[in-house]
Amino acid sequence: MSTPTRIDLRSDTVTTPTPHMRAAMAEALVGDDVYGEDPTVNELQQETAALLGFEAGLFMPSGTMTNQVAIAVHTQRGQEVICAEGSHIYEWELGMMATFSGVVPRFVPAPVGVPDPAQVRRAVRHSIHQSPTGLIALENTHNKAGGTVLPHEVIVGIREVADAEGLPLHLDGARLMNAAAAQNVPARQIARYFDSVSLCLSKGLGAPVGSVLVGSKRFIASAHRYRKMMGGGMRQAGTLAAAGLIALREGPANLPGDHRRARELAETLVQAGYDVDLSTVQTNIVYATIQDAQAKVEGWAAQGLLASALDIDRVRFVLHYQIDDAMLQRAKEIVAGM
């Protein structure tokens, strides 16, 4: 008997580089990127900036670093960052906004990951008695809410608040390309409302490592210094950037398929009696509410299906390009108890 296939739906970070990425990595031109002399890193930064409609970009090892560097550039110590409840910049970035930038989050409610511009406006603080607001940060797609997409009018409304209050607006766009695919618009049509955007190459786009932060030339010049402070100066990083370029060019084409498979898996879970809010299944992530999530996940893992128990009663499945229809079929059979 052959070993059962391992169907890894714990995250879209678990993918391995494509053969095309491996070839590009082997051939990449490199130089010392801390001196700005790695041609492949420079190409990736310029191409990402152009794709998203910005002047400049900066390559970093992780999305946590691109977000936290952006926060450091935009804010001053003692300020608040307005963000949606459940935002990655706070929930999953280990308190870095406090330890590195000396700022604290102020959450606004975000049912299904979507904050209300009126509540963002009410959360802004300018009084001498309170920590002033330094930044508004949005997340699109919203990971913890289930990969949900920010509606266009919400982004426009929050941009208006930022302009009226004189505040910068950052986008944690780790999965911006998923949002663009779901809305069938170019990513720059979403990105244009923000002062800075952080894009992950190593999620659904499939690169082994890396994220790019984009913004104005002035913003990126400042980001360069904070990246170095965080230990993100990577020297001959062109080998990684080469894979990132392939991810940027070829990755987006896979996303509609990932979204369709996520939807199919969600529907199978519902048919099997699990509690899934189908309205939140808009991209490549599926959350199910399951009592004793850990035991359930272990049972499925024994059959070759890996998912994440992210809370005592929440299980997350994330689709990505290394899950084809045959693997999806097997995943559906396992969750349906077949």
| Cβ closest to ligand PLP, residue 123 vs residue 201 | 201
Give the shortest CB-256-to-ligand PLP separation in angstroms. Answer: 19
| Cβ closest to ligand PLP, residue 67 vs residue 239 | 67
| Cβ closest to ligand PLP, residue 203 vs residue 332 | 203
- Which residues neighbour 40 within 8 Å (Cβ) at sequence distance 6 or greater? 28, 29, 30, 237, 238, 239, 241, 242, 245
Q: Which amino acid is at 225?
A: R
Residue 318, helix vs strand vs coil: strand
Give the shortest CB-207-to-ligand PLP separation in angstroms. Answer: 11
Show the beta-strand stretches assigned E in 120-227: 133-139, 169-173, 196-200, 211-215
Q: In whole angstroms, what is the distance from residue 80 CA to residue 97 CA?
A: 10
Give the shortest CB-100-to-ligand PLP separation in angstroms. Answer: 14
Give the shortest CB-107-to-ligand PLP separation in angstroms. Answer: 15
Provide the 8-state DSSP code for 230.
T
CB atoms within 10 A of CB 155: 23
Give the shortest CB-66-to-ligand PLP separation in angstroms. Answer: 8
The contact set with ligand PLP (CB under 6 A) reads 62-64, 67, 88, 139, 143, 172, 174, 200, 203, 211
Q: In whole angstroms, what is the distance from residue 257 CA to residue 330 CA?
A: 17
**Could you identify the residue written with the tokens 């603080």?**
125
Order across the sheet with 308-311: list the strands. Answer: 285-289, 314-318, 308-311
Give the shortest CB-258-to-ligand PLP separation in angstroms. Answer: 14
User: Residue with the closest Cβ to ligand PLP?
Assistant: 63
| Cβ closest to ligand PLP, residue 51 vs residue 171 | 171
Give the shortest CB-211-to-ligand PLP separation in angstroms. Answer: 6
| Cβ closest to ligand PLP, residue 144 vs residue 296 | 144
| Cβ closest to ligand PLP, residue 67 vs residue 133 | 67
| Cβ closest to ligand PLP, residue 67 vs residue 75 | 67
| Cβ closest to ligand PLP, residue 113 vs residue 134 | 113
Give the shortest CB-63-to-ligand PLP separation in angstroms. Answer: 2
Q: What is the largest CA-CA distance in the chain?
A: 71
User: How, if at all, do strands 169-173 and 7-8 pair?
Assistant: unpaired
> Is-contact 313 293, C-beta < 8 A?
yes
Which string of DSSP letters, residue by residue, matches 55-110?
A: SEEEEES-HHHHHHHHHHHH--TT-EEEEETT-HHHHTTTTHHHHTT--EEEEE--
